[in-house]
Each structure stands twice: as C-alpha cells, then as structure tokens.
Amino acid sequence: MNIEIKISKKPIEYDKAIKYLEARLDKIKEGKAKELIWILEHNDIYTAGSSYKDDEILDKKIKLIKTNRGGKITWHGPGQIIFYFLIDLTKRNKDIRNFLTVIESSIIKSLKEYNISTFSDRKNIGIWIKKRNSTKKIAAIGIRVKKWIAYHGFSLNIYNDIEKYKKIIPCGIKNKGVTNLRLVKDLNYKYLKKKIVKNLLKNL
C-alpha cells in the first residue's frame, strides 16, 4: 500500500497543517504525491467545523479558527494526538461511510489492547467511553472530501487538559462530557500511535 506515514515531533500550527494538506491533496489527484497519514499535535486552539453554531461558544474570548471540515466545535492542544489523512476514495469504491468505519474500528481495536472498551455512535460521531453512569467522548472525528480525496481526520485525548472543553459545547453535544485516556486508565501510551496506524493500514 502506497501510503506515507508522517510523524511530527514538534507541535504544528493548525493553519499551516491545513494548508499543507490542501496543497498535497492537489498533488495526489495529479498523481504526483502519495496518500498520507500524518500524526502530530497542535498548539492550543479551538476549531469550528461547517455545522457549528455561535451559541456553542461559551467563552467568547477564545481563539477560534473556522474550518471547512465536517462537524462542529472542538479543542486541540498539548496531550492530544491528531491523525490527519489524505486518502483517495476512488481507490476504495468512493465509500465515505466505510472510510469512517475504518477510522472508528481502528481506534476501538487499538484501545482494546489496553483493556479499554470504547464504542462509536452513528448519531453522535466520535469514539465514546462509558464510565460509571456517564458517557464521555475520547476521540473526535471530522472529515471533508474534495475531488474524492478524504482529508482532515481525528483527535484522540491522551493526557490533555479537560478544562479547555468547558469554554465550548464540544461537538455541539450538551448532555455528554469529554475525557482522556490518562483519566480512564493511567498507563504508558507510548506505542498507541503505532497500534492505530497498524490497524488503519489493515483496513484501508
């Protein structure tokens, strides 16, 4: 499979990352670049997808970037890993739903290796975990398709500051919270990125 795996060790500014993805998307369509899975972190930033609403911003002082991805408003920053994609869906029957299923199942299977049970929800897209009597999101997914190339991706909370989400209504969902892996189970997640990549490549 001709997919490049790119891992950035230092945080990448959000707008620079998106510009890179969009420029490379055109090259992939022209057959001049490989498909891509890019793993990185962002500096502290809130981003709003195409379907967000102004009343989902609880603190009007936050730094917000409006994006062309799907979904609503979320936060990115230290302690959260981002997986960005540039995947040619013309090689995969132009099946957007299946691509999302591959992302969801890859995260779920990878976390299962740490004995952490999670699930996807078609109504509220993302990866969720039940803890006692509450359901909380641990990974947010936002995808856009242009020229049948799927890009943007997902964020997975590892040890990030959960307080950041109190300034917004995360993903526009009022009755469910957000958590991170360290709060669920205090383990070493050093190899989680590799596990997710392995599961993605099995199914893409």
Q: List active site positions.
A: 171
Write the DSSP assignment of 120-186 as a string of letters: E-SSS-SEEEEETTEEEEEEEEEEEEETTEEEEEEEEESS--GGGGGGB-GGG-SS-EE--HHHH--
Non-local CB neighbours of 68 within 8 Å, separated by 6+ positions: 50, 144
Residue written as tokens 């526009």? Answer: 172
Cα(171)–Cα(73) distance, rounded to whole angstroms?
Answer: 5
Strands 134-146 and 35-40: unpaired
